[in-house]
């Protein structure tokens, strides 16, 4: 059997170990709580940033739809204007052919415009090609 003095020493040792373990557990628990609070704060910050980005994206989407709608209306009006004046259609076609590299004879034969008009278009086209200020204005 154990002597009563040894028993009390062992009991005191176990108590000290239990208290140290309890203090370590409390310390770990406090650090865990602090980390958890930091992570919740970070999650809230990220959640708010996502909300802001979503609302911004929605605004950009709405603006894009408005611009697309305007563009469609503009295209329709341009087509209406081209269809109203049959002479303008020949000049538009001539301009497109000129962009693709057609010469004066091609314009006269394909578009049905007069030779002086075709030569004038060719001259204007050359001027636009050689002048960077005019070309960037298109």
Tens digit of each residue's pLDDT (9 = 90 or more) over 51-71: 999 999 999 999 999 999 999
Tens digit of each residue's pLDDT (9 = 90 or more) over 66-85: 999 999 999 988 887 766 66
Q: In angstroms, rounded to a whole number, what is the distance separating the alpha carbons of residues 125 and 95? A: 8
**pTM value surpassing 0.75:** no
- Taking phi over 0 as left and psi of -120 to 50 as alpha, with beta for the rest, 122 belongs to alpha
The pLDDT score that the predictor gives to residue 134 is 53
CA geometry: angle at 81 spanning 79 and 87, to 5°?
110
Burial profile 5-44: b = 16 or more Cβ within 10 angstroms, e = fewer: eeeeeeeeeeeeeeeeeeeeeeeeeeeeeeeeeeeeeeee
Alpha-carbon distances, residue 11 vs 18, 19, 22, 27, 123 (angstroms): 10, 12, 16, 24, 110
Q: Would you list the domain boundaries of the chain?
A: 16-84, 86-132
């Amino acid at each position: 059997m154990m002597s009563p003095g040894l028993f009390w020493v062992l009991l005191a040792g176990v108590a000290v170990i239990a208290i140290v373990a309890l203090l370590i557990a409390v310390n770990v628990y406090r650090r865990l709580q602090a980390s958890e609070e930091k992570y919740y704060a970070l999650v809230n910050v990220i959640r708010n940033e996502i909300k802001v980005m979503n609302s911004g994206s929605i605004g950009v989407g709405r603006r894009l739809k408005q611009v697309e709608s305007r563009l469609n209306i503009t295209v329709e009006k341009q087509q209406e204007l081209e269809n109203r004046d049959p002479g303008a259609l020949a000049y538009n076609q001539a301009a497109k052919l000129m962009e693709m590299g057609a010469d004066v004879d091609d314009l006269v034969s394909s578009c049905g415009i007069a030779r002086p008009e075709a030569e004038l278009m060719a001259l204007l086209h050359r001027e636009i090609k050689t002048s960077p200020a005019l070309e960037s204005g298109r």
